[in-house]
Amino acid sequence: MGILEFIQDFGTQEQCVAKLEGLKWKNEPVCSYCGSKKSTKRKNSIRHQCHSCNATFSVLVGTIMESTKLPLPKWFLAMFLILNAKKGISSLQLSRDLGINKNSAWYLQKRLRQAMNEDNQILKGLVEADESYVGGSLTNKHEKLKVDRSYNQSGMEHKIPVLGMIERKGKIIVKVLNKAWGNEIKPILKEIVTKDSELITDGFGGYKDLGKYFANHVVLNHTKKIRKIGVYHTNTIEGFWSMLKRAILGQYHKITLTHLQDYLNEIAFKYNYRNPETAFNTLLFNGLRKDLSFRRKSLCQGGVAPTTTLHPFCRKAGLIGFKGVSALLLLYLLGILVLSEQIHHVYQIN
């Protein structure tokens, strides 16, 4: 689908809403709060009035587009541009293309990358596994970053390890590792790859003894120039690493550990769905899932709600930021008032 055809199909708010309602409700509105199918469409609005709970709802409730101030055609166009950029698109470029500021573009990309997360897949058959490392050369780092660090100039200690698993003629799953060693790699492989699969890896020690768990474990000793044994090779996963490195070097330049997994999800998603129409419909469907509705603050912190620097009462009550501090101060003031009343009462008795 070309960009002119895309704009013709999804150039208005009504066209985008109709597409979302068809995917989410099969064109039969369902209340997002009580599940009732009895509702009435409100005039001059995308919202519906539920006859059971009397609440108003729209197709955007519980999705990545909930409470958005951007028109839906810009959301749809952002998906189109991101999915058609094989090696990624920067938030600055996306902001120029959509006519929005860079913060809105980054926030939009962040939400879409969350919707691209499909790490709940199971791989089977011939599965290639390999580790890679994301980060620049230590010699290129600023002198301040080299102080008090005993990194080996030729080693990988200063880079972020990443594990990739790809089913032959199937999908790929990429995971960020804390450390590239067997204690972390093996549990991930056993969780994602079925036991009756044939696992293909290089000679890295983190994959040792996996033949006892899987049906077959083929080890290719790359140090001895053994890169292929019959149908067994790791060329597929190596090709993905090449595309990943090109995306980082050419578009993103620098990715922090906090957001690295989201960038990997995006690149893996586009690799898994190379048909543009299939990729677009899948991304839309994933974005409509209820478990992907989240707030700006949690997004800016890597999708994890803050759990530190808060009083336990505030954390339990779900109060964060200024509200949490205000509630805490109010509790302390009430406690002081109660204590002073008790002391005053004791003095009166005496």
For residue 75, what are the contacts with CB-CB under 8 A and spacing of at least 6? 16, 65, 68, 108
Q: Residue 15 has what pLDDT?
A: 94
User: How far apart are the C-alpha atoms of 105 and 93, rounded to whole Å?
Assistant: 9
- Sheet arrangement for strand 198-202: 172-176, 160-167, 126-134, 198-202, 216-220
φ/ψ bin of 214: left (φ > 0), alpha (ψ from -120 to 50), beta (otherwise) = beta
Task: Report CA dihedral (113, 116, 119, 125) to the nearest 10 degrees.
Answer: -140
Pairing of strands 126-134, 198-202: parallel
Handedness of CA 208, 210, 211, 216 (dihedral sign): negative
User: How far apart are the C-alpha atoms of 93 and 95, rounded to whole Å?
Assistant: 5
Cα-based distances in Å from 336 to 83, 311, 323, 343, 347 = 58, 17, 20, 11, 17
For residue 302, what are the contacts with CB-CB under 8 A and spacing of at least 6? 258, 259, 262
CA count, 13 A, side-chain hemisphere, 226: 13
Q: Residue 346 has what pLDDT?
A: 58
Task: Report CA dihedral (254, 260, 265, 267) to the nearest 10 degrees.
Answer: 20
Helices marked H in the chain: 3-9, 13-25, 72-84, 91-98, 102-115, 143-146, 182-192, 235-247, 257-272, 276-287, 296-300, 312-317, 321-349
Grouped pLDDT means (10 residues each) for the chain, 350 residues:
89 93 90 91 91 92 90 95 91 94 93 90 94 80 61 68 94 93 93 94 91 92 86 93 89 87 94 92 87 49 37 41 62 78 64
User: How far apart are the C-alpha atoms of 282 and 172, rounded to whole Å?
Assistant: 16
**Residue 201: burial class (beta carbons within 10 Å; 0-12, 13-18, 19+):** buried
- Candidates 36, 107, 96; CA nearest to 70 is 107
**Which tokens belong to 269?**
């998603």
The whole model's pTM is what? Answer: 0.78
104 three-class SS = helix
Compute the radius of gyration of the chain from its Cα atoms: 26
User: How far apart are the C-alpha atoms of 126 and 298, rounded to whole Å?
Assistant: 38
User: Residue 126 — φ and ψ, nearest 5°?
Assistant: -80, 115
Helix (H) or strand (E) holding 130: strand 126-134
User: How far apart are the C-alpha atoms of 47 and 41, rounded to whole Å?
Assistant: 6
Q: What angle do CA 237, 164, 270 make, to 5 degrees?
A: 75
Q: Residue 324 has what pLDDT?
A: 56
